[in-house]
Structure 1
Amino acid sequence: MKLLGYLLLSVLLLSCQNQESKKEATLSSEPKGPKNVILLIGDGMGLSQMSSAQFYKEGTPNLERFPVVGLIKTSSSAQLITDSAAGATAFACGAKSYNGAIGVASDSTAIENLPEMLVKQNMSSGVVATSTITHATPASFYAHVVSRNMHEDIALDLVESELNYFAGGGLKYFNQRSDEQDLLSELKNKGFVIDTTAIPSATTEKMGIFAASNALPKFIEGRGDFLTQASLKGIECLSQNENGYFLMIEGSQIDWGGHDNDADYLIGEMLDFDNTLGAVLDYAQKDGETLVIVTADHETGGFTLAANEGNYNSIAPSFSTGGHSATMIPVLAFGPGAENFTGIYENTDIFHKIAAALK
């Protein structure tokens, strides 16, 4: 009987050990989440805008390097067709709101954004744009105002925000204000190194770059590679935080080319954005801990790559509107956690998927 008891006890112990081993193996085989997230937003960039890179870029577009593709629905809380403010608020805060809302809900109350959440995990955050830094998309990642047109109020929110890095235009909202406040001095008092002439070679933990008094020039009018270089400088600065970071990069003026129904303007901005994607992807491939997501807030212009007078070997870009359209928007993803961005879902899910990836 004693021998039988020992045998039964041995079997039970072995069974428990096997179950623990299987549990540990399962846990170790679970995909590791990202340390960093870079979200690239091509403002106004629909599928036709993306497709233009196939036909107007020399070589293969960087867009084609992404292994994961999804689609988002973009309507705002009050309108079928969103604007950039409500679209970016959905990305930054995870909630639908009305057109014009910056970081506020439909009842105009402030909603916590990603940088405000991530600072609680001691992570860093930054934004880059070719518009003013107070424009709707970048503003939604740090400000809380009832209207996107409140640029001076948005600038005040940037001073009090949780950002560690920003680069774009809009200097006049900080040093030529109606209230005569000198927000550049206030930013410096908050620990920011501010540059109003160029992207500095030095790297600091808190940096602000103002490349223009208002918006930056068009790419086809000599802006150069500001978007790429400002994005890489942002990665360099934010990477100093061993806890990880979040960086939003906006190709702002793809949208403006669509509003102007100017195909050359739009395509130039799209190619500049694709160049920036390439630089970011090169970094992410080497780093191995960075999730890269590419999407847009909405499509602008009803842009179409139409056949040129029936000639199927010639493209004549055309537009159907000077405003936005309601079409679904592609989502591309690369890196740890990219597999979670497949399917068709609401634009607010971009926020929730990023938050889940960063736990």
Structure 2
Amino acid sequence: MITKTTLLTILLMTPFLCTSQNVEIKQELVKAKNVILLIGDGTGLSQISSAFYFKKTNPHYARFKHIGLIKTSSSKQAITDSAAGATAFASGVKTYNGAVGIADDSTEVKTLVEIASLHNIKTGVIATSSIQHATPASFYAHVINRGLYEDISADMVVSDIDFFAGGGRSFFNKRKDGKNLLVELETKGFAIDTLALGTFSEIQKHSKMAYLLADEHMKPTAKGRDDFLPKATELGIQFLSKDTNNSNFFIMIEGSQIDWGGHANDADYLISELIDFDNAIGKALDFAEKDGNTLVIVTADHETGGFTLASTIKKDGDGKSYSDYNEITGTFSTNGHSATLIPVFAFGPGAEAFSGVYENTEIFYKILDATNWNNGN
């Protein structure tokens, strides 16, 4: 039996319950206006873990609350390469190793850059490899084989990219066909710098910006590249968001050479590149925290090297080997890629959806859901 007191309590609480429900509905409808996708090529959990032991400051990976895992196999191989892995992120399809922006049947598939551009959203790619390398290429190019760098460069010219930074200058201006595609980039409105990253004030006036800072790949960070990646990340974000009336953007940032450290079984190389990549993550998160409308996703296409943080093997006074559990050494089980599940870290509007275990192609669809970009246009 409902007493007068109970009825009065229900009536008094009803407005608050409705308000709470409305707030929840509004929160569910919030969509990201910007997306920053950071790909640490070849980066598995052990590579990420190395930042927690070897970085002198707190790793930016620790700033994430929403974490998931992806399965990375390509359409025909249990172990993926970067081309198939990046195409899964960029277009939401499983394809064969070596394929860039195409399906198994060699038909072109729409990329996130192409989809975002239909909505007047600015786009960019950054890499520490050549800008034609498999991962960045998969976001703007369509070729049957990742090694077709000159064809990939031609696709860049006709793409909707607004900002890019990395190596690969020779594939534009020292081509077998004799063409100088840097001239064509300028015709499309690009300002081009082949010497060094500029400041935002220097490039703010341009409508499109290209940095081609090496003939092929850029140097390792420990051998002269220094902090290019975090600086380019910050500069790219500033450039793409500079126009008050058109400030929304999508950018993909790759820490390319983490993978190369794994292939070389060089732990020092790998760790220095991973720490550099973590600094780029920090730049993305700093912007997203202030902006409030930006989704940041950090993941990898695959793991490279079977990397492990093992105890250091030493010998005692009698010459017997033992494991020193107070000292860590990076060890490897392969020179190639592995099939291990890969972590996904997300921050910002829609970040909750990136928790769980799922296929790498779901990154594409989760981005579309988080932004409400329409793949059907």
| TM-score normalised by length of structure 1 | 0.92
Shift of 1:175: 0.5
Shift of 1:28: 2.9
C-alpha separation between the residues in 2 aligned to 1:237 and 1:205?
A: 9
Contact 1:122 1:243 in 2 (8 A): no
C-alpha separation between the residues in 2 aligned to 1:57 and 1:29?
A: 36
C-alpha separation between the residues in 2 aligned to 1:21 and 1:224?
A: 52
Task: Name stretches of at least 5 consecutive residues in structure 1 with no aligned partner.
Answer: 1-16
Paired residue for 1:283, among 275, 281, 287?
Answer: 287
Structure 1 pair 178/333, CA: closer, same or farther in 2 (3 Å)?
Answer: same
Q: Deviations over 1:262-305 (max 9, x none)?
A: 01110010010011111111111111111100000000000010
C-alpha separation between the residues in 2 aligned to 1:177 and 1:231?
A: 29
Contact 1:42 1:296 in 2 (8 A): yes
Structure 1 pair 20/208, CA: closer, same or farther in 2 (3 Å)?
Answer: same
Paired residue for 1:168, among 166, 169, 179?
Answer: 166
How many residue pairs align between the two structures? 343
C-alpha separation between the residues in 2 aligned to 1:32 and 1:111?
A: 28
Instruction: Return the letter of the residue paired with 1:291.
Output: L
Instruction: Return the letter of the residue paired with 2:144.
Output: V
For residues 129-144 of structure 1, the aligned pairs below 5 Å read 129-144=127-142
**Does residue 1:252 correspond to 2:265, yes or no?**
no
**Does residue 1:213 correspond to 2:222, yes or no?**
no
Partner residue in 1 for 2:338: 325
Paired residue for 2:352, among 329, 333, 339?
Answer: 339
Shift of 1:149: 0.4
Partner residue in 2 for 1:357: 370
Partner residue in 2 for 1:50: 48
Shift of 1:118: 1.0
Paired residue for 2:324, among 308, 311, 317?
Answer: 311
C-alpha separation between the residues in 2 aligned to 1:320 and 1:21?
A: 56
* 3-state SS of 1:30 partner: helix
Instruction: Return the letter of the residue paired with 1:354.
Output: I
For residues 117-266 of structure 1, the aligned pairs below 5 Å read 117-201=115-199, 202=202, 203=204, 204-241=206-243, 242=246, 244-266=248-270
Shift of 1:326: 0.2
C-alpha separation between the residues in 2 aligned to 1:66 and 1:290?
A: 14
**Does residue 1:301 correspond to 2:305, yes or no?**
yes
Shift of 1:30: 2.8
Please, what is the CA RMSD of the aligned residues? 1.7
Paired residue for 2:91, among 90, 93, 104?
Answer: 93
* 3-state SS of 1:306 partner: strand
* 3-state SS of 1:320 partner: coil
Contact 2:162 2:240 in 1 (8 A): yes
Shift of 1:231: 1.0
Paired residue for 1:272, among 256, 276, 279?
Answer: 276
Q: Deviations over 1:128-167 (max 9, x none)?
A: 0000000000000000000000000000000001111100
C-alpha separation between the residues in 1 aligned to 2:24 and 2:129?
A: 47
Shift of 1:50: 0.2
**Does residue 1:102 correspond to 2:100, yes or no?**
yes
C-alpha separation between the residues in 2 aligned to 1:67 and 1:24?
A: 25
Shift of 1:205: 2.7
Shift of 1:27: 3.8
C-alpha separation between the residues in 2 aligned to 1:356 and 1:162?
A: 22
Task: Name stretches of at least 5 consecutive residues in structure 2 with no aligned partner.
Answer: 1-14, 314-322, 373-377
C-alpha separation between the residues in 1 aligned to 2:265 and 2:220?
A: 14
Shift of 1:29: 4.2
Instruction: Return the letter of the residue paired with 2:237.
Output: I
| TM-score normalised by length of structure 2 | 0.88
Structure 1 pair 177/344, CA: closer, same or farther in 2 (3 Å)?
Answer: same
Contact 1:125 1:247 in 2 (8 A): yes
Contact 2:240 2:247 in 1 (8 A): no
C-alpha separation between the residues in 1 aligned to 2:274 and 2:158?
A: 32
Decide which moves more: 219-228 or 340-349.
219-228
C-alpha separation between the residues in 2 aligned to 1:20 and 1:87?
A: 45
Q: Deviations over 1:326-345 (max 9, x none)?
A: 00000001111111100000
Instruction: Return the letter of the residue paired with 1:198.
Output: A
C-alpha separation between the residues in 2 aligned to 1:343 and 1:125?
A: 28
Instruction: Return the letter of the residue paired with 1:325.
Output: S
Q: Deviations over 1:238-283 (max 9, x none)?
A: 1035251100000000000000000111001001001111111111
Shift of 1:23: 8.2
